[in-house]
Structure 1
Amino acid sequence: MIKPDQRQLLHKYLLIELAVKSLQIDYQKTEQFKMKIVFLPLMDALLKDLRQEYFDLKRQLVHQKIRVIGWTNVDEYFSDVQIATAGNDVVLRYANQALKTQVEKLLINQIKGFDFDKVPKAIN
């Protein structure tokens, strides 16, 4: 059984995992931009921060004996996430559109609070 605080931690972990995957896919497309010298350093710094938070959350989940086994697309609207806990396995169902919206909000908030001084400067 997953406690409410563990579920909150797990939810944040899942959102960050999706954000990292989405940014990695978008990164490849950004490499084709004419102004890639502007966007790539920003995306690198953003990915670095998100990956750090991802690994910190994963460490916390492992400490609590919780791990994500896998994602399954139920249909175009829902996905199931299979979770292994010390007590038993749990399947959580998520609405795909809600996840997309929450990942977008996470990234917007991440960018709003971003320290642009740590973004590597473009070199000519």
Structure 2
Amino acid sequence: MINPEQRQLVHKYLLIELAVKSLQIDYLKVEQFKMNKVFAPIMDSLLKDLRHEYFELKKQLGQQRIRLVGWKTIDEYFSDVQIATSGDDVVLRYANQALKTKVEQLIINHIDGKMKMKS
């Protein structure tokens, strides 16, 4: 069983994992842009920050003996995420569109934060 704080950590971990995966896929397309010298460094910096956060969250979850076991797509609308804890396994159901929206917002917030730091 996981408590609400652990569930929030798991949720953030999942969002960051999805953001990293999406950006890695998109990065291949950015390399083909005419202005890739502008966008590639932005993507590199964003990926570096998200990977750092990802590994920190993974470490925190590991210390609490919580790990992601796997994703299972239920249908086009929902996916289940299986989480292993020291007590037993937990299955969390997520709406795919909600995950996509949250990942987009996470990336936008990271970009906005970087822009504010530079100005």
Q: CA deviation at 1:117?
A: 7.9
TM superposition score normalised by structure 2: 0.96
User: Relative to total residues, which structure has the larger helix share, 1 or 2?
Assistant: 2
- What amino acid does structure 2 have at the position aligned with 1:97? Q
* RMSD across aligned positions (CA): 1.4
What secondary structure is seen at the aligned counterpart in 1 of 2:114?
A: coil
Are 1:28 and 2:28 counterparts? yes
Instruction: Name the structure 1 match of 2:13.
Output: 13
Equivalent-residue separation in structure 2 for 1:41 and 1:109 (angstroms): 17
Instruction: Name the structure 2 match of 1:121.
Output: none
Q: CA deviation at 1:116?
A: 8.2
Equivalent-residue separation in structure 2 for 1:35 and 1:53 (angstroms): 28
Equivalent-residue separation in structure 2 for 1:58 and 1:46 (angstroms): 18
- Percent of paired sites with the same residue: 73
Instruction: Name the structure 2 match of 1:46.
Output: 46
1:24–1:116 Cα change, 3 Å: farther
Number of aligned residue pairs: give it: 118
- What amino acid does structure 1 have at the position aligned with 2:62? V
- What amino acid does structure 1 have at the position aligned with 2:44? D
- What amino acid does structure 1 have at the position aligned with 2:10? L
5+ residue gaps, structure 1? 119-124
Runs of 4+ in 1 over 6 A off after TM superposition: none
Instruction: Name the structure 2 match of 1:65.
Output: 65
Q: CA deviation at 1:104?
A: 0.5
Q: CA deviation at 1:22?
A: 0.2
1:117–1:102 Cα change, 3 Å: closer
Equivalent-residue separation in structure 2 for 1:34 and 1:117 (angstroms): 27
Which digits, 9 at most, give the CA deviation of each residue in 1:3-32, with x for residues without a partner?
Answer: 000000000000000000000000001111
Q: CA deviation at 1:38?
A: 0.3
1:97-108 → structure 2 map (5 Å cutoff): 97-108=97-108
TM superposition score normalised by structure 1: 0.92
